[in-house]
């Protein structure tokens, strides 16, 4: 198939960007979206034009590097996958495709489709952990965790930290990201001791980074490639309230 | 140079305890006077940086991704081994040790492997304490599954995302230390040179991948935790950025490279579908718990899987290896899949695939159970192939997956350059010629959480590290050499892209230094590698400049190193005139086509010294001593 791509090109954080139109030919339906971009880049290089920069690494939906906004949706049109898992069979010959970086004030564009997501790391550094001294852990079966709690914690822990939730939220809120971590750790007996401290520190850092608040539009849930539910945000709110009063 | 593995004397089970007791300590107040560089934040690097930070060392850590959490360890699916014996099925530290030595085809050190097995249990404890949500049984106890090469169930898992969860555990501990200021984290920084002063590793040059700036970092010790080099084959299950740059440049600075030809080819990956393909996707080994591998008995059988009756199917692993069945080790499974495809019995349009069939388990356990166990893997498979594995069998084929070779290290994880330590997949230490499934995660975390905190202290406390600064001429020289390399790459202004050459190199490696090797092929490969390398240096086109975010330049540097490493791998494969584990030389096989080891002549580690590009490297031998295990034919029949 042949496609017309409208791609956001931006030299660096200080330079203004713009959409540039490219044609790509001979795209096969079993290619992944990123492989389609690889082909475009090979074509650009052949013409001595600067290839399009985009973040990617594992190309199997787990590292959270890839971060493209495609036709107005984080990670493209399919639910529950990252853009590296998106295949061209979901497009058809003659399609026009708009490709943009994550857009959110806390995520400045570094080049083309690459943004700086360091604020998410700083939120984790503020409190997204359990303080367990290395080397002093007791036998893992000493504290039992029932099957359903472990599964529910795992549902939240599946977050890959890609930032799609932020990019798709009109408030650029990082609530789903924070909620996933608070819910993952807070449900486990090992994580309960620090639950108040954790939620307060993470929320404070989130605010400091300039992420917006949550107004329950659920765009994050719809676009999360790991289908993390906003019920975790409800849990986050409860945890926050609880920590604020005790 | 004589290689001293520094394996402590005494009974196997007491070596580590004894060694720890004997290692010198750095007192608490002095730790903050030491500076340690940790390159890489996968399981090995993140756990090391977190542990050392917690102990009070000043740590500076690096990764090339935008966040430490994205290291390739994140992609590990199936699980992590530990000798807990929670299943009461006869497991023990000794059995895990034995299985690992045997799985590695008797080419690993007893002392290291025993320590690994010993520490495996602490890893599970530590990870649970950090909040890793491993799968649980209904009673609340930890659940296990089975992996290849073992007859016990000792693999701990978190759905199909075990690596992710373990890494997030280590990353959270690391984040904690970053928050406290103990660790300074530099993401989007690529180590491009090692700095050696007075024979000791004293720092690195890193390129800021956003601005292109070359920066000097100084330390009292440098830890390389930079993962494996499987991407030398272009197509592999590794992430696109995985590279050999850090260890290769350290090798060129004097660190010996051990067993470079030991590469693991994973039997269950989604087959290649076309020229455009940029990477291969693994389907976890855990699937072989419930999936049965087969091909049609008849060559060229074109019927859809469902139309092939039971009696015309060949469940070749179950047939040939009745005691391990589908759970034979990876090298054995891969080789057998290749054999049946070579016989013309492969399936799918390319005929380079075998079936992995869940029909019987779905009938036995129900679709729900299978979905709970492997849901995300099935989904991944369907995304890629547009086929539903609940109704048609998966098609799988072997792919490059893991590299057992790496920088040579002694029992303390120190390379031949004093002060340079190597952890995780980047070293060669524990898996011999073949790694068993679920053992890499175990090794990475053992190295980082539990070994290096002791052995690094031993090194630092022994003294002899002079005062120096980043103005030292070694730093200046190292920085200049990187500058000129970058300039050279940018100024070739040739005709072909970096990927073009990478693919070309990958093809040579896959065809001639891949699953089956022979003398002629290897000799040809050396010539071909040299030819592509020469062409690369004359005709590669790298656009853009040095002082910007430039992904082509990043790739070019990595591929340049792969071009050199490829030759060393081939030289190593050529010299090892035996078959063992992942290294299969066609000339050395039994009548049934099994690997034929030559213990009399090759029971050693081949550690290579760099002699210059295109020059014959110098081999140093470390003889492997087996005091506890009797070398025997590896049989899974
Ligand atoms: C798809 C897949 C599935 C797997 N499943 C399993 C499994 O189920 N069980 C198991 O035990 N093992 C599994 N493995 C193997 C295992 O995941 C790896 O061997 C292990 O995670 C490697 O960890 P590491 O810390 O050594 O390196 P990595 O996790 O690869 O980390 C390397 C780090 O080094 C950094 N780095 C690299 N080069 C540079 C440089 N030049 N400068 C700066 N930083 C650099 C990277 O940024 C990264 O942080 C799997 C591997 C793959 C590919
Ligand atoms: S590249 Fe890793 S999630 Fe897409």
Give the confidence band of B593 by pLDDT, cuts at 50, 70, 90: confident
**CA gap B473, B469 in Å, rounded:** 9
Q: Give the CATH number for residue B189.
A: 3.50.50.60
Most confident range (mean pLDDT) of A26-30, B240-244, B593-597 is B240-244
Give me the count of residues in chain B. Answer: 637
- The vertex-A142 CA angle with A141 and A143, nearest 5°, equals 90
Find out whether the beta carbon of B557 lies less than 6 Å from any atom of ligand 1.
no
Q: What is the pLDDT of residue B605?
A: 98
**CA gap A34, A54 in Å, rounded:** 9
Q: Which of A37, A38, A54, A60 to mutate to test the pocket of ligand 2 (most atoms within 8 A of CB)?
A: A60
**CA gap B270, B180 in Å, rounded:** 43
Q: Are B204 and B37 contacting, i.e. CB atoms less than 8 angstroms apart? A: yes
Give me the count of residues in chain A. Answer: 246
Per the domain annotation, does B635 fall within a domain?
A: no
Residue numbers of the domain that contains B316: 265-400
Average pLDDT score over residue span B517-545: 98
**CA gap B80, B66 in Å, rounded:** 26
Query: Are residues B59 and B125 part of one domain?
Result: yes
Residue B432's nearest CA partner among B243, B595, B270 is B595
Spacing, Cα A50 to ligand 2 middle (Å): 23
Give the confidence band of B160 by pLDDT, cuts at 50, 70, 90: confident
Last residue of a domain, one of B400, B433, B452: B400
Average pLDDT score over residue span A12-28: 96
Diameter over CA atoms, chain B: 75
Indicate the pairing of strand A73-74 with strand B313-314. unpaired
**CA gap A209, A120 in Å, rounded:** 9
Query: Are residues A230 and A134 part of one domain?
Result: yes
Find out whether the beta carbon of B525 lies less than 6 Å from any atom of ligand 1.
no
Phi, psi of B305 (to 5 degrees): -50, -45
Give the confidence band of B312 by pLDDT, cuts at 50, 70, 90: very high
Q: What is the pLDDT of residue B635?
A: 84
Per the domain annotation, does B8 fall within a domain?
A: no
Find out whether the beta carbon of A61 lies less than 6 Å from any atom of ligand 2.
yes
Query: Are residues B441 and B519 part of one domain?
Result: no
Query: Are residues B277 and B251 part of one domain?
Result: no
Query: Are residues A95 and A126 part of one domain?
Result: no
Last residue of a domain, one of A55, A83, A111: A111
Query: Are residues A176 and A123 part of one domain?
Result: yes
Give the confidence band of B258 by pLDDT, cuts at 50, 70, 90: very high
Q: Collapsing DSSP states into helix, strand and coil, what is residue A166?
A: helix
Query: Are residues A190 and A96 part of one domain?
Result: no
Residue numbers of the domain that contains A186: 117-245
Query: Are residues A70 and A24 part of one domain?
Result: yes
**CA gap B596, B335 in Å, rounded:** 13
Looking at the structure of chain B, the number of domains it has is 3
Interface touch A60/B84, C-beta < 8 Å: no
**CA gap B524, B116 in Å, rounded:** 39
- Computed over every residue of chain A, the mean pLDDT equals 97
Q: Are B419 and B204 contacting, i.e. CB atoms less than 8 angstroms apart? A: no
Find out whether the beta carbon of A186 lies less than 6 Å from any atom of ligand 2.
no
Query: Are residues B252 and B113 part of one domain?
Result: yes
Query: Are residues B164 and B31 part of one domain?
Result: yes
**Block residue for tokens 């002629």:** B520
Find out whether the beta carbon of A163 lies less than 6 Å from any atom of ligand 2.
no
Give the confidence band of B636 by pLDDT, cuts at 50, 70, 90: confident
Which distant-in-sequence residues (6+ apart) come within 8 Å of B232 by Cβ? B244, B505, B506, B509, B562, B565, B566, B569
B9 exposure class (CB count in 10 Å sphere: 0-12, 13-18, 19+): exposed
Residue A121's nearest CA partner among B65, B51, B210, B53 is B65
Residue B160's nearest CA partner among B265, B67, B268 is B268
Lowest mean pLDDT among B141-155, B460-474, B482-496: B141-155
Q: Which ligand is nearest to the CA of A76?
A: 2
Residue minimizing CA distance to atom 3 of ligand 1: B76
Q: Find chain B residues with C-beta within 8 A of A45's C-beta.
A: 497, 541, 543, 552
Query: Are residues A187 and A77 part of one domain?
Result: no
Signed CA dihedral, B609, B613, B614, B615: sign only: negative
Q: How far is CA B190 from CA A104, B246, B414, B550, in A?
A: 27, 8, 22, 12
- The vertex-B456 CA angle with B451 and B462, nearest 5°, equals 135
For residue B387 the two structure tokens come to 């086929």
Q: Are A116 and A55 contacting, i.e. CB atoms less than 8 angstroms apart? A: no
Spacing, Cα B497 to ligand 2 middle (Å): 23
Looking at the structure of chain A, the number of domains it has is 2
Query: Are residues B365 and B432 part of one domain?
Result: no
Q: What is the pLDDT of residue B434?
A: 95
Query: Are residues B44 and B136 part of one domain?
Result: yes
Query: Are residues B51 and B132 part of one domain?
Result: yes
Query: Are residues A8 and A126 part of one domain?
Result: no
DSSP state for residue B585 in the 8-state scheme? B
Residue B83's nearest CA partner among B155, B149, B159, B11 is B155
Residue A143's nearest CA partner among B377, B355, B136, B428 is B136
Of all helices (H) and strands (E), which one includes residue A20? strand A18-24
The answer to whether residue B285 scores a pLDDT higher than 90 is no
Phi-psi map region of A154: left, alpha, beta (phi>0 left; psi -120 to 50 alpha): alpha
Query: Are residues A123 and A47 part of one domain?
Result: no
Q: What is the atom index within ligand 1 of the atom nearest the CA of B226? A: 34
For residue A20 the two structure tokens come to 């540039």
The whole-angstrom distance between A89's CA and the closest CA on chain B is 9
Query: Are residues B381 and B310 part of one domain?
Result: yes
**CA gap B242, B64 in Å, rounded:** 9
Last residue of a domain, one of A67, A94, A111: A111
Per the domain annotation, does B491 fall within a domain?
A: yes
Interface touch A137/B161, C-beta < 8 Å: no
Of all helices (H) and strands (E), which one includes residue B454? helix B452-461
Q: Give the CATH number for residue B309.
A: 3.90.700.10
Query: Which member of B72, B129, B158 has the closest CB to residue A58?
Result: B72
Q: What is the pLDDT of residue B611?
A: 98
Runs of H (alpha helix) within chain A: 33-46, 118-127, 147-157, 164-168, 175-186, 189-192, 195-208, 219-223, 231-245
Average pLDDT score over residue span A148-171: 97
For residue B432 the two structure tokens come to 């011999």
Signed CA dihedral, A227, A233, A239, A243: sign only: positive
Q: Give the CATH number for residue A34.
A: 3.10.20.30
Q: What is the pLDDT of residue B25?
A: 95
Q: Are B42 and B424 contacting, i.e. CB atoms less than 8 angstroms apart? A: yes
Query: Are residues A239 and A141 part of one domain?
Result: yes
Spacing, Cα A148 to ligand 1 middle (Å): 30
Q: What is the atom index within ligand 1 of the atom nearest the CA of B40? A: 34
Residue B398's nearest CA partner among B325, B334, B347, B316 is B334
Phi, psi of B81 (to 5 degrees): -85, 150
Q: Find chain B residues with C-beta within 8 A of A137's C-beta.
A: 122, 125-126, 128-129
DSSP string, B467-493: ---TTSHHHHHHHHHHHHHHHHHHHH-
Query: Are residues B522 and B432 part of one domain?
Result: no
Interface touch B210/A110, C-beta < 8 Å: yes
- Percent with pLDDT over 70 in chain B: 100
**Block residue for tokens 């000043």:** B58
Spacing, Cα B445 to ligand 1 middle (Å): 11
Q: Are B459 and B187 contacting, i.e. CB atoms less than 8 angstroms apart? A: no
Query: Which member of A53, A130, A144 has the closest CB to residue B140?
Result: A144
Q: What is the pLDDT of residue B1?
A: 82
Find out whether the beta carbon of B226 lies less than 6 Å from any atom of ligand 1.
yes
**CA gap A102, A108 in Å, rounded:** 9
**CA gap B80, B134 in Å, rounded:** 10
Give the confidence band of A4 by pLDDT, cuts at 50, 70, 90: very high
Residue minimizing CA distance to atom 9 of ligand 1: B438
Q: Give the CATH number for residue B564.
A: 1.20.58.100
B418 exposure class (CB count in 10 Å sphere: 0-12, 13-18, 19+): middle
For residue B411 the two structure tokens come to 């029992």
Average pLDDT score over residue span A89-100: 97
**CA gap A64, B74 in Å, rounded:** 9
Q: What is the pLDDT of residue B602?
A: 98
pLDDT digits (tens, 9 = 90+) for B78-112: 899 999 999 999 999 999 999 999 999 999 999 99
**Block residue for tokens 């929320």:** A203
The answer to whether residue A246 scores a pLDDT higher than 80 is no
pLDDT digits (tens, 9 = 90+) for B331-380: 999 999 999 999 999 999 889 999 999 999 999 999 999 998 888 889 88
DSSP state for residue A159 in the 8-state scheme? -
Q: Collapsing DSSP states into helix, strand and coil, what is residue B538?
A: helix
Q: What is the pLDDT of residue B592?
A: 85
Beta bridge partners of B223: B38, B421
Q: CB count, 10 Å around CB of B513? A: 27
The whole-angstrom distance between B66's CA and the closest CA on chain A is 7
Q: Give the CATH number for residue A230.
A: 1.10.1060.10
Find out whether the beta carbon of B425 lies less than 6 Å from any atom of ligand 1.
yes
Find out whether the beta carbon of A53 lies less than 6 Å from any atom of ligand 2.
no
pTM of the predicted structure, to 2 decimals: 0.98
- The vertex-A117 CA angle with B157 and B377, nearest 5°, equals 30
Beta bridge partners of B143: none
Per the domain annotation, does B614 fall within a domain?
A: no
DSSP string, B356-417: EE-HHHHHHH-HHHHHHHHHHHHHHHHHHH---TTTS-EEEEEEEEEE--EE---TTSB-SS
Query: Are residues A62 and A42 part of one domain?
Result: yes
The answer to whether residue B286 scores a pLDDT higher than 90 is no
The whole-angstrom distance between A100's CA and the closest CA on chain B is 18
Task: Return residues 439-498 of B near A (CB < 8 Å).
Answer: 449-450, 453, 497
Q: How far is CA B630 from CA B101, B116, B591, in A?
A: 11, 19, 23
Q: Are B433 and B404 contacting, i.e. CB atoms less than 8 angstroms apart? A: yes
Query: Are residues A236 and A208 part of one domain?
Result: yes
The whole-angstrom distance between A121's CA and the closest CA on chain B is 7
Q: Is the ipTM above a cut-off of 0.95?
A: yes
B470 exposure class (CB count in 10 Å sphere: 0-12, 13-18, 19+): middle
Q: Which ligand is nearest to the CA of B377?
A: 1
pLDDT digits (tens, 9 = 90+) for B398-428: 999 999 999 999 999 999 999 999 999 999 9
**CA gap A116, A10 in Å, rounded:** 14
Q: What is the pLDDT of residue B402?
A: 97
Query: Are residues A106 and A78 part of one domain?
Result: yes
């Amino acid at each position: 198939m042949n496609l017309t791509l409208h791609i956001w090109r931006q030299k660096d954080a200080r330079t203004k960007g713009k959409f540039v139109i490219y044609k790509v030919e001979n795209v096969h339906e079993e290619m992944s979206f990123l492989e389609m971009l690889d082909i475009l880049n090979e074509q650009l290089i052949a013409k001595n034009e600067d290839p399009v920069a985009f973040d990617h690494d594992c190309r199997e939906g787990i590292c959270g590097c890839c971060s493209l906004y495609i036709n107005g949706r984080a990670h493209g049109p399919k639910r529950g996958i990252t853009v590296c898992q998106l295949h061209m069979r979901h497009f058809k010959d003659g399609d026009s495709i708009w490709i943009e970086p994550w857009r959110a004030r806390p995520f400045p564009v570094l080049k083309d489709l690459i943004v700086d997501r360091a604020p998410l790391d700083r939120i984790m550094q503020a409190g997204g952990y359990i303080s367990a001294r290395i080397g002093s852990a007791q036998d893992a079966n000493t504290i039992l965790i029932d099957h359903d709690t472990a599964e529910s914690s795992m549902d939240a822990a599946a977050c890959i930290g890609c930032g799609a939730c932020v990019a798709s939220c009109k408030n650029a809120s990082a609530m789903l990201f924070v909620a996933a971590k608070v819910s993952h750790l807070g449900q486990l007996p090992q994580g309960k001791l620090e639950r108040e401290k954790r939620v307060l520190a993470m929320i404070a850092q989130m605010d400091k980074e300039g992420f917006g608040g949550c107004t329950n539009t659920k765009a994050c849930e719809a676009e999360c490639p790991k289908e993390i539910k906003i019920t975790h945000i409800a849990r986050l709110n409860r945890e926050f309230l609880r920590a604020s009063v005790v | 140079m004589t290689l001293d593995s520094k394996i402590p004397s005494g009974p196997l089970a007491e070596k580590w305890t004894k060694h720890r007791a004997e290692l010198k300590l750095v007192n608490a107040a002095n730790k903050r006077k030491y500076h340690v560089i940790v390159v890489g934040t996968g399981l090995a690097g993140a756990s090391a940086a977190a542990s050392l930070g917690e102990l009070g060392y000043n740590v500076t850590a690096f990764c090339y991704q935008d966040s430490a959490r994205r290291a390739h360890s994140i992609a590990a699916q199936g699980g992590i081994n530990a000798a807990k014996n929670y299943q009461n099925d006869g497991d023990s530290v000794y059995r895990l040790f034995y299985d690992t030595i045997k799985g590695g085809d008797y080419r690993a050190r007893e002392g290291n492997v025993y320590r690994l097995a010993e520490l495996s249990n602490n890893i599970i404890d530590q990870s649970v304490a950090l909040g890793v949500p491993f799968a649980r049984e209904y009673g609340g106890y930890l659940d296990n599954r089975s992996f290849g090469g073992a007859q016990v169930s000792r693999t701990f898992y978190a759905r199909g995302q075990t690596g992710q969860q373990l890494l997030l555990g280590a990353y959270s501990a690391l984040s904690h230390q970053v928050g406290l200021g103990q660790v300074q984290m530099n993401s989007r920084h690529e180590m491009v040179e090692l700095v050696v002063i007075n024979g000791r590793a004293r720092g690195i040059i890193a390129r800021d991948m956003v601005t292109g700036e070359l920066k000097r970092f100084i330390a009292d010790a440098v830890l390389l935790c930079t993962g494996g080099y499987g991407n030398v084959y272009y197509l592999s299950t590794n992430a696109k950025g995985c590279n050999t740059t850090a260890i290769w440049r350290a090798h060129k600075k004097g660190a010996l490279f051990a067993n470079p030809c030991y590469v693991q080819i994973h039997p269950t990956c989604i087959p290649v579908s076309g020229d455009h393909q940029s990477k291969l996707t693994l389907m976890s080994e855990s699937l072989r718990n419930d999936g049965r591998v087969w091909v049609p008995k008849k060559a060229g059988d074109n019927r859809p899987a469902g139309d092939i009756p039971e009696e015309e199917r060949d469940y070749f692993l179950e047939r040939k290896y009745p005691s391990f069945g589908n759970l034979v080790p990876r090298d054995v499974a891969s080789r057998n899949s290749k054999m049946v495809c070579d016989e013309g019995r492969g399936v799918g349009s390319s005929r380079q695939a075998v079936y992995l069939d869940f029909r019987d388990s779905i009938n036995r356990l129900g679709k729900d159970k299978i979905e709970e166990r492997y849901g995300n893997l099935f989904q991944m498979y369907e995304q890629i192939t547009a086929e539903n594995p609940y109704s048609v069998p998966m098609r799988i084929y072997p792919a490059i997956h893991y590299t057992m070779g790496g920088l040579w290290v002694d029992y303390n994880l120190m390379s031949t350059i004093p002060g340079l330590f190597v952890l995780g997949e980047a070293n060669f230490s524990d898996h011999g010629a073949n790694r068993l499934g679920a053992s890499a995660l175990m090794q990475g975390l053992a190295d980082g959480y539990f070994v290096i905190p002791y052995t690094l202290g031993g090194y630092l406390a022994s003294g002899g590290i002079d005062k120096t600064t980043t103005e030292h001429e070694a730093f200046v020289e190292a920085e200049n050499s990187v500058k000129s390399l970058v300039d050279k790459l940018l100024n070739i202004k040739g005709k072909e892209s970096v990927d073009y050459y990478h693919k070309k190199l990958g093809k040579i490696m896959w065809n001639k230094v891949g699953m089956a090797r022979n003398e002629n092929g290897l000799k040809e490969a050396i010539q071909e590698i040299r030819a592509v390398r020469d062409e690369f240096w004359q005709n590669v086109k790298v656009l853009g400049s040095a002082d910007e975010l430039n992904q082509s330049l990043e790739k070019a540097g990595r591929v340049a190193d792969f071009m050199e490493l490829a030759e060393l791998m081939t030289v190593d494969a050529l010299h090892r005139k035996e078959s063992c584990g992942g290294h299969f030389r066609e000339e050395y096989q039994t009548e049934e086509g099994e690997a034929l080891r030559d213990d009399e002549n090759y029971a050693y580690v081949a550690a290579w010294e760099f002699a210059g590009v295109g020059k014959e490297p110098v081999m140093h031998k470390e003889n492997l001593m087996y005091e506890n295990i009797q070398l025997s034919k590896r049989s899974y029949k």
